């Protein structure tokens, strides 16, 4: 099979697993909503300060939710030596990465879409800038978390403390993505009178391009180790 066919097969398989595990997805959403609520308690009833910090708290909630999603990214492949069977079938590691990372990016985008109205209610913010810009930053930000997250999920899949190791490895690497996503989301919500959105979109897209180009090449070495 070609790279594209293998990628689509893995992508479809992971989405079906996510659909059948809807209860876990609901739990991840509840966790993210709880994080947003708890962070609002740190600010107090100051509505102006809540609105100012809303983009940062939103991405913190999504980042923490992504860890729960990524922890199980390779769970099926590590059960009953399924990953070894994929190697015997000559599945391209690049297809394995692209299929799983794309499915994770879609899952995180859906999670972000569900958390946006929750954040709007809790922090009292609305979209006074551009919905298109908000969607672009959410999609690119989710992709920026999914690519390195999928690679590190494979690296820690068989480790005993993978729930701890994964965030320790992932968080430092995605700091540039989070900075660009937070700043861009703030501009999308409040408006962009200085025309800064294209620059932040460019920064986020550049990091995404690097991660999505390099990580598929590294997965083969991770699997063989």
* pTM for this entry: 0.90
Q: Is the pLDDT of residue 34 over 90?
A: yes
pLDDT value for 1 = 61
Lowest mean pLDDT among 30-39, 82-91, 182-191: 82-91
pLDDT digits (tens, 9 = 90+) for 153-204: 888 877 777 778 888 889 999 999 999 999 999 999 988 888 899 999 999 9
Q: Is the pLDDT of residue 87 over 80?
A: no
Instruction: Name the band, by pLDDT with cuts 50, 70 and 90, for residue 95.
Output: confident
Q: Is the pLDDT of residue 26 over 70?
A: yes
The proportion of the chain whose per-residue pLDDT surpasses 90, expressed as a percent, equals 44
For the chain, give the mean pLDDT: 86
For the chain, the structural domain boundaries read: 3-224
Instruction: Name the band, by pLDDT with cuts 50, 70 and 90, for residue 76.
Output: low
Instruction: Name the band, by pLDDT with cuts 50, 70 and 90, for residue 6.
Output: confident
pLDDT value for 88 = 58
112, exposed or middle or buried, with CB in 10 Å at 0-12, 13-18, 19+? buried
Q: Is the pLDDT of residue 93 over 70?
A: yes
Range from 124-128, 150-154, 179-183 that averages highest in pLDDT: 179-183
Q: Minimal CA–CA distance to 115: which of 170, 39, 46? A: 39
Q: Is the pLDDT of residue 83 over 70?
A: no
């Amino acid at each position: 099979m070609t790279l594209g066919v293998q990628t689509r097969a893995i992508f479809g398989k992971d989405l079906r697993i996510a659909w059948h595990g809807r209860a876990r997805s609901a739990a991840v959403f509840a966790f993210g909503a709880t994080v947003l609520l708890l962070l609002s308690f740190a600010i107090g009833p100051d509505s102006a300060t809540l609105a100012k910090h809303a983009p940062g708290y939103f991405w913190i909630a999504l980042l923490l939710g992504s860890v729960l999603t990524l922890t199980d990214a390779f769970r099926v492949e590590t059960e009953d030596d399924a990953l070894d069977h994929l190697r015997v079938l000559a599945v391209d590691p690049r297809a394995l990465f692209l299929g799983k990372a794309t499915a994770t990016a879609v899952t995180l985008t859906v999670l972000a879409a569900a958390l946006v109205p929750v954040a709007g209610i809790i922090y009292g913010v609305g979209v006074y800038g551009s919905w298109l810009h908000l969607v672009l930053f959410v999609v690119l930000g989710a992709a920026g978390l999914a690519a390195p997250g999928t690679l590190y999920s494979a690296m820690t899949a068989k480790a005993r403390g993978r729930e701890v190791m994964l965030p320790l490895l992932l968080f430092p690497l995605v700091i540039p993505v989070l900075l660009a996503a937070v700043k861009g989301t703030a501009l999308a919500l409040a408006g962009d009178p200085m025309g800064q959105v294209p620059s932040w979109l460019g920064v986020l897209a550049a990091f995404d391009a690097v991660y999505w180009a390099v990580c598929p090449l590294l997965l083969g070495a991770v699997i063989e180790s």
